[in-house]
Amino acid sequence: METVSHNHKHKEGRKDKSKKEEVDMSKLHLCKLISKVPLTKNVENPVALFRFQMPEGVTFGPTPIGQSITIFAQNNGMTLKRHYTPIVYEKDCFEVMVKLYGDGEFSPLVHAFKEGDEVYIKPPKKTKITIGHDEFSHVGMIAGGVGVAPMIPVLTYLLEHNTENLKLDLLFANKTTDDVIYKEMLDELSAKHKNLNVHYILSRAGDDWSGHRGRVDREYVSRYMPAPKEKAMVLICGSKQMKKDWVALLESMGYERNKNFFKF
């Protein structure tokens, strides 16, 4: 058993206190980083896509959507860990998006990884979110920045396993156009599937932006998200403060947590 330090603050970029706990290293897998691809340019907090290869004979799949893996990293003799939801699971590989916070405790360690480096990974962690093939008539998603990561496999799954009778809406909040991740892919999915609508909202939009401006509020939720009723669900994921604000907003509008809205 090895003592590790667990950062309980989900949002990086703040001075977080760490808690020591025991981790059974035999339950971890040593995975190799095989590629690191930048997803943003000229932004305050750049995002990169990390692709890891699992050891021979080890597979995490088939993995239910919404489950997160745990990445471990060393810093000044301490082992830190952080949960990430892969956007891609394959037979022997998976991919995660990581946003770099300059004063963060964990993300600088991940962004310092080089191709060929081996990193300890813990298999997927279960969530309370389960999505059946015909369980809902309308699924809404509110994502902020890299919070879109768990939404991508959810969208892919629902578009592959459901008919066009299922309505899908993604409200995607970012600071600037340069911060928007996978816009081309999301636009292609929306163009291909008429039941999917992607709505972008920017808090620091330039003069050339003709889309939504500001932050996610009651008006945007009422306009694009399903009402709190049966056969409807809202998923949210973003920074710690975003999730705190959105939980309060949804609850004030009559949504019930873990019943018709869930947070990653």
Give the CATH number, domain containing residue 230.
3.40.50.80
Total domains in the chain come to 2
26 annotated as a binding-site residue: no
**160 and 86 within one domain:** no
Are 49 and 162 in a shared domain? Answer: no
Residue 161: predicted pLDDT = 81
Tell me: do 102 and 178 sit in the same domain.
Answer: no
For residue 146, give its domain range: 138-263
Q: What is the pLDDT of residue 16?
A: 34
**Rounded Cα gap, residues 195 and 221, in angstroms:** 18
Distance CA 40, CA 47 (A): 6
Q: Would the annotation count 84 as a binding residue?
A: yes
Q: Do 144 and 249 fall within a single domain? A: yes
Look at the pTM and tell me if it is higher than 0.85: no
Q: How far apart are CA 142 and CA 119, in angstroms?
A: 31
CATH code at position 43: 2.40.30.10
Res 5: pLDDT: 37
| 218 in a known ligand binding site | no
Q: Are residues 243 and 209 in the same domain?
A: yes
Residue 241 lies in a domain: yes
Sign of the four-CA dihedral 217, 220, 222, 224: negative
In order along its 264 residues, the chain shows pLDDT tens digits of 333 333 333 344 443 333 345 667 777 999 999 999 999 998 899 999 999 999 988 877 666 677 888 999 988 888 899 999 898 888 889 999 999 998 889 999 999 999 999 999 998 866 555 666 567 889 999 999 999 999 998 898 889 887 778 999 999 999 999 999 999 999 999 999 999 999 999 999 989 999 999 999 999 999 999 999 878 899 999 999 999 999 999 999 999 998 889 998
The answer to whether 169 and 136 are in contact (CB under 8 A) is no
Residues 89 and 175 both lie in one domain: no
> Do 66 and 129 meet the contact criterion of CB atoms below 8 Å apart?
yes
